[in-house]
Structure 1
Amino acid sequence: MRELKILVINNYGQFCHLIHRAVRDLDMDTKIVANTTPVDDILNEEPDGIILSGGPTMDRAGICAEYVESIDIPILGICLGHQVIAKTFGGEVASGMAGGYADIEVEIVDEDEILKGLGPKTSVWASHADEVITLPEDFIQLARSNICEYEAMRHIDRPIFGVQWHPEVAHTEKGEQLLTNFFEICETY
């Protein structure tokens, strides 16, 4: 696989720098970008893909909704990024039943291209302080757990994906596989 340029959008989550490092360690050109960067400046970077990092709350997500609506390249939302994608397309986000970070067993409902090689079950590191509770109309469910129905999703037409968990941390099984799957999507898009 050729070296791709992946922008990591900083939503002020504690793992943003770990996402950047994980992407770099997988031999991709990567850069952390503020979530208030104008869309034109993002496009001027000529990225092959965008990762929306996790973060503390929706009101700290800057203009990520604009990126999701107007940038037509592969986008992966992680935790808060996943929630921003859902909300932007008309889904609902609310407080989850389980708060802090924990090891969660996720059932892969649809392996799809982003979750290829992860199923049928995988152990992930996730926080469910907030979570997607209603899937947006143009999305399909890819994974669920016993505490969250929408652990992963994708847009039916566009290369937009969301996962509630953190593939960039060592606690997540096959996290590198998920990121590599995303890079393959970016390469072929």
Structure 2
Amino acid sequence: MIVIINNHGQFTHLIHRSLRDIGIDNKLVSNTISPSELNELNPNGVILSGGPDIEKTGNSRDILLSIDVPVLGICLGHQIIAKTFGGVVKPGSSGGYAEVDVEILNNNGLFRDLGDKTVIWASHSDEVSEAPSGFKITARSKLCDVEAMAHKEKPIFGIQGHPEVAHTPEGEKILRNFLQLCE
């Protein structure tokens, strides 16, 4: 089972639905769940959802530091990962949601079998401007140098865009790749 931490993003319920539609058992929980309560659910993986405010992410940082399963941070979840591990999050140059052409720098992990480029639906109101030490940048765009990143040793992944929305053509592949990392 995949547990989705709800950081109150407008697409959070789409993560739940997208996983359900591809046959993956998942549970959407409040970001106020404690790490011990989360561990009692015995998840195979955790997704930190997007959301409007990095200061209102409940126990997301504590969960990230205390669990021992693969983690995927989407949009704000990506930024939570960056800040938790010492990266830098700043306002981006492009607000609002739009299609973004992304150059894939690492065809393993989230981007396995996707080729050298893909399109994601993303907002860059805020973005990771510097990946934390111990992370490698796995995708970039003309808007942002850190469209996606992965920890060099732990199964922790972040992506600025939203693989759960229909506007991300290869989003289902990205989600399936994360699920394979959880197996």
Distance in 2 (CA, whole Å) between partners of 1:133 and 1:119 is 24
Distance in 2 between residues matched to 1:170 and 1:45, nearest whole Å? 29
What SS does the corresponding residue of 1:94 show, helix, strand or coil?
A: strand
Counterpart position of 2:95: 99
Deviation at 1:173, TM superposition (A): 1.6
Higher strand share: 2
Which residue identity does 2:40 align to in structure 1?
N
- Note the alpha carbon deviations across 1:66-116, whole angstroms, 9 max, x for none: 111110100000000000000000001010000010010000011122111
Correspondent of 1:74 among 47, 53, 70 = 70
Q: Out of 14, 17, 35, which is 1:21 matched to?
A: 17
Tell me the equivalent position of 1:87.
83
TM-score computed with the length of structure 2 as normaliser: 0.99
- Amino acid of the residue matched to residue 182 of structure 2? C
- In structure 1, what is the Cα distance between the partners aligned to 2:149 and 2:102? 13
- 1:126 aligned residue: 122
Q: 2:158 aligns with which of 155, 162, 169?
A: 162
- 1:139 equivalent among 113, 135, 142: 135
**What is the SS of the residue equivalent to 2:93?**
coil
Structure 2 unaligned residues grouped into runs of 5+: none
Shift of 1:119: 2.4
2:181 alignment partner, SS class: helix
Letter in 1 for 2:174: L
Partner of 1:7: 3
Q: Secondary structure at the match of 1:50?
A: strand
Q: SS of 1:130's equivalent?
A: strand
The answer (yes or no) to whether the contact 1:107–1:119 under 8 Å persists in 2 is no
- Quote the Cα distance in structure 2 between the aligned partners of 1:119 and 1:12: 32
Give the residue type in structure 2 aligned to 1:138.
G
Once the two structures are aligned, what percentage of the paired residues are identical?
A: 52
Unaligned 5+ runs, structure 1:
none
The question of 1:176 aligning with 2:140 is answered no
Q: Does 1:116 align with 2:112?
A: yes
Moved over 4 A (4+): none
Counterparts of 1:111 and 1:100, CA distance in 2: 28
RMSD over aligned CA atoms reads 0.6
Q: State the TM-score, normalizing by the size of structure 1.
A: 0.95
Alignment-mate amino acid for residue 91 of structure 1 = G
Task: Tell whether the 8 Å contact from 1:168 to 1:175 is kept in structure 2 after alignment.
Answer: yes
More displaced 10-residue stretch of structure 1: 116-125 or 151-160: 116-125
| CA deviation after TM superposition for structure 1 residue 41, in Å | 0.3
Confirm or deny that 1:32 pairs with 2:2: no
In the alignment of these two chains, the number of paired residues is 183
Indicate yes or no: 2:38 matched with 1:42.
yes
